[in-house]
């Protein structure tokens, strides 16, 4: 078990290093001069531009810039914004609670809808409930989040006036963004719960329980569901990471405060330190969540725990 945790931790650190390297390389290789996004070239002389480039270390080769970048990140120094000179890390921390609330609310919606419809779909296989649940799941997986978000705004905000279309103040502004992200996650959970339930219901021990005369209700919800939900834990953990990434689009569509929105704004303004800081912060969260899921998985499933001992 300890060996597994160490191995997962090392692989997680490599994933974080890989994401940092990729983001840094992308911005290093992109055409254009980031210094020109900081000052107005109309009023700046070539000497001023070159001096600022030297001051920021942008005249150094790739490996030196990357080394300084890694060292700063490891010290918790995410740099300052090129647009307004605000420190990046406090900006991320200030916006993170809004993103965290949105992610947790979306996950709750995805799990609630996904588990209920997944169970009903498996129990009523090939019936109209099964077809309806699979259609909802397919809709959630197939529809782009920005399209679903705009559709919900048109129906529930503009037509019905039930919820505000934009903002991040109060629970009412959380409903539509959370449903938009939750529908996407629910699609994957429905499919996973349905397939897992059907697989468990075909196991020999279910046939034995039926032969013993145990009621269908007890077999489904006490024995089958308990085993079927084990792989769902992994899917839910992965969905939390996917929803964190999805906040970039949703927070922009709903003009909601959060790290996804400041990432989108930073990309548009070519504000490299903010982009790198948000990606580093998100990568750490994503890796930590998946690491916790992997570890919890070994505790939940006795078969995996026995195979590791």
pLDDT in tens, 167-200: 777 788 888 888 888 888 888 888 888 888 888 8
Closest CA to 12 of 237, 227, 230, 192: 237
Pick the residue with more confidence: 105 or 216?
A: 105
In this prediction, residue 226 carries a pLDDT of 72
* Phi and psi angles of residue 84, each rounded to the nearest 5 degrees, phi first: -130, 5
In this prediction, residue 285 carries a pLDDT of 83
Could you tell me the CA-to-CA distances from 122 to 32, 95, 178, 185, 196 in Å, in that order?
A: 54, 40, 26, 18, 9
With a cut of 60, say whether residue 309 has pLDDT above it: no
Could you tell me the CA-to-CA distances from 115 to 95, 148, 181, 190, 288 in Å, in that order?
A: 31, 21, 16, 6, 24
Residues 232-258 have a mean pLDDT of: 78
| pTM score | 0.77
Question: In angstroms, how far is the first alpha carbon of the chain from the final one?
Answer: 7
In this prediction, residue 33 carries a pLDDT of 67
With a cut of 60, say whether residue 48 has pLDDT above it: yes
Q: How confident is the model at residue 23 (pLDDT cuts 50, 70, 90)?
A: confident
Closest CA to 121 of 143, 142, 138: 138
Distance CA 165, CA 265 (A): 19
Closest CA to 164 of 238, 254, 104: 254
In this prediction, residue 201 carries a pLDDT of 80
Cα torsion angle, 240, 248, 16, 26, sign: positive
């Amino acid at each position: 078990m300890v060996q597994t945790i160490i191995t997962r931790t090392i692989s997680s650190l490599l994933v974080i290093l890989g994401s940092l390297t990729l983001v840094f390389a992308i911005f290093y290789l992109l055409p254009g001069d980031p210094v020109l996004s900081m000052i107005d070239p109309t009023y700046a002389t070539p000497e001023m531009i070159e001096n600022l480039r030297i001051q920021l270390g942008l005249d150094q080769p790739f490996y030196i810039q990357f080394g300084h970048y890694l060292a700063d990140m490891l010290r918790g120094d995410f740099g300052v914004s090129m647009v307004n000179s605000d420190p990046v890390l406090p900006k991320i921390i200030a916006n993170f609670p809004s993103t965290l609330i949105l992610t947790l609310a979306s996950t709750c919606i995805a799990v609630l809808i996904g588990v209920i419809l997944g169970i009903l779909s498996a129990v009523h296989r090939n019936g109209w409930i099964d077809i309806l649940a699979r259609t909802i799941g397919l809709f959630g997986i197939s529809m782009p989040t920005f399209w679903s978000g705009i559709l919900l705004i048109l129906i529930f905000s503009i037509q019905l006036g039930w919820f505000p279309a934009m903002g991040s103040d109060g629970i009412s502004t959380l409903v539509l963004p959370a449903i938009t992200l939750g529908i996407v996650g629910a699609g994957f959970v429905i499919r996973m719960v349905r397939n897992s339930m059907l697989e468990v219901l075909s196991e020999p021990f279910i046939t034995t329980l039926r032969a013993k005369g145990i009621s269908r209700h007890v077999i489904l919800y006490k024995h089958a569901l308990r085993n079927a939900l084990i792989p769902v834990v992994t899917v839910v953990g992965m969905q939390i990471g996917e929803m964190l990434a999805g906040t970039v689009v949703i927070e922009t569509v709903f003009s909601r405060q959060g790290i996804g929105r400041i990432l989108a704004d930073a990309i548009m303004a070519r504000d490299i330190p903010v982009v790198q800081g948000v990606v580093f912060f998100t990568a750490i969260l994503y890796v930590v969540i998946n690491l916790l899921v992997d570890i919890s998985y070994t505790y939940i499933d006795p078969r995996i725990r026995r195979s590791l001992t």
